[in-house]
């Protein structure tokens, strides 16, 4: 409990310090800007009705989205080509649509409670990696191979221009991640294939069919188990039944000899 308290206070302190530093370096984006145009376009396509703020930040950091109840997309101050800006905003909105910010908060809670377990830190990195790869998949699912390469170049350009460390997992979902998982991320997005609706429907049908068979089998077997057991015992004569009970008692009961002596004294009644 002491460890949980210390880790909680540390996370709160780092979060407050970072948000204070961030807000001091953020500038609102005008509604008439190109960034606002691309943001509204993708929000309409994704049917996102929440109010999402977009700001520029003087800190040299990669684009990211933060805030669960008041979401905000943070863009760096350096020049971003319009085609790359469009992909970046789409990526961050998909994070919001997929509830990745909630997943990161849940992971943070698990980290606080299991601060003593080294595997929780590995799990946190894996979850962040797979959140990014899942988001990339949704971005490129309908793209050609050339467009996917362009998206990969956007990630590389963002990483090259961003000098600030982006390992603040508790803060939000970043567009660019660490270099260790970069190769896997780029290769994965090039190999993404769109799954046809027929395959999805067939998979769901098979899943429900197997589940239904299992439930029906269980319901059918349960009331008949005792009946079958009684029928089998009736077919076995008294001597065999006694032998079966003796064997079971030897395996499971420490009071076997006492019970056996009762049986021998009163065998007919037994």
Quick: pLDDT tens for 49-69: 888 999 998 888 888 888 888
Q: What is the pLDDT of residue 177?
A: 60
How confident is residue 93, by pLDDT bands cut at 50, 70 and 90?
Answer: very high
Q: What is the DSSP code (8-state) at residue 29?
A: P
| Cα 2 to Cα 229: distance, rounded to the nearest angstrom | 55
Q: What is the pLDDT of residue 246?
A: 60
In this structure, the dihedral spanned by the alpha carbons of residues 195, 196, 199 and 204, taken in order and rounded to 10 degrees, is 80
Residue 247's pLDDT is what?
62
Contact between 38 and 85 (Cβ < 8 Å): yes
* Res. 170 pLDDT band, cuts 50 70 90: low
Mean pLDDT of the chain: 77
pLDDT of residue 124 exceeding 70, the answer is yes
pLDDT band at 194 (very low <50, low <70, confident <90, very high): low
Nearest to 132 by CA among 171, 184, 85, 170: 184
Q: Is 1 helix (H, G, I), strand (E, B) or coil?
A: coil
**Residues 222-264: tens digit of each pLDDT:** 665 555 555 555 555 555 555 655 665 555 555 444 445 545 5
Which of 135, 138, 185 has the alpha carbon at shortest distance from 159? 185
- CB count in 10 Å sphere of residue 190: 12
pTM value is 0.66
pLDDT digits (tens, 9 = 90+) for 25-48: 888 888 888 889 999 999 999 998
Helix extents (H) in the chain: 2-23, 34-45, 82-97, 100-113, 118-140, 145-161, 182-191, 197-235, 238-252, 256-265
Nearest to 23 by CA among 63, 52, 55, 61: 55
In the chain, % of residues over pLDDT 90: 20
Range ranked top by mean pLDDT from 143-152, 172-181, 196-205: 143-152
pLDDT at residue 265 is higher than 60: no
Query: What pLDDT shows up at residue 90?
Result: 92
Q: Can you give the pLDDT at residue 168?
A: 52
Question: Is residue 184 scored above 90 in pLDDT?
Answer: no
């Amino acid at each position: 409990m002491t460890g949980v308290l210390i880790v909680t206070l540390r996370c709160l302190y780092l979060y407050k310090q970072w948000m204070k530093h961030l807000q001091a370096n953020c500038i609102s984006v005008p509604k008439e800007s190109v960034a606002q145009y691309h943001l509204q376009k993708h929000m309409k396509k994704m049917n996102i009705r929440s109010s999402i703020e977009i700001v520029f930040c003087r800190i040299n950091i990669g684009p990211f989205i933060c805030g669960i109840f008041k979401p905000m997309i943070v863009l760096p101050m350096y020049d971003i080509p319009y085609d790359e800006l469009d992909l970046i905003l789409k990526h961050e909105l998909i994070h919001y649509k997929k509830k990745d910010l909630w997943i990161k908060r849940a992971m943070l809670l698990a980290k606080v409670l299991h601060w003593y377990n080294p595997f929780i830190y590995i799990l946190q990195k894996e979850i962040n990696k797979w959140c990014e790869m899942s988001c990339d998949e949704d971005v490129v699912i309908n793209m050609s191979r050339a467009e996917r390469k362009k998206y990969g170049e956007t990630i590389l350009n963002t990483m090259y221009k961003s000098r600030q460390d982006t390992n603040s997992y508790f803060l939000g979902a970043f567009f660019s991640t660490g270099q260790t998982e970069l190769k896997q991320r780029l290769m994965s997005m090039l190999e993404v294939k769109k799954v046809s609706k027929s395959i999805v429907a067939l998979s769901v049908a098979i899943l429900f069919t197997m589940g239904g068979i299992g439930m029906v089998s269980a319901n059918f077997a349960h009331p008949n188990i005792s009946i079958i057991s009684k029928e089998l015992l009736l077919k076995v004569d008294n001597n065999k039944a006694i032998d079966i009970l003796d064997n079971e008692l030897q395996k499971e009961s420490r009071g076997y000899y006492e019970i056996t002596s009762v049986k021998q004294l009163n065998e007919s009644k037994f």
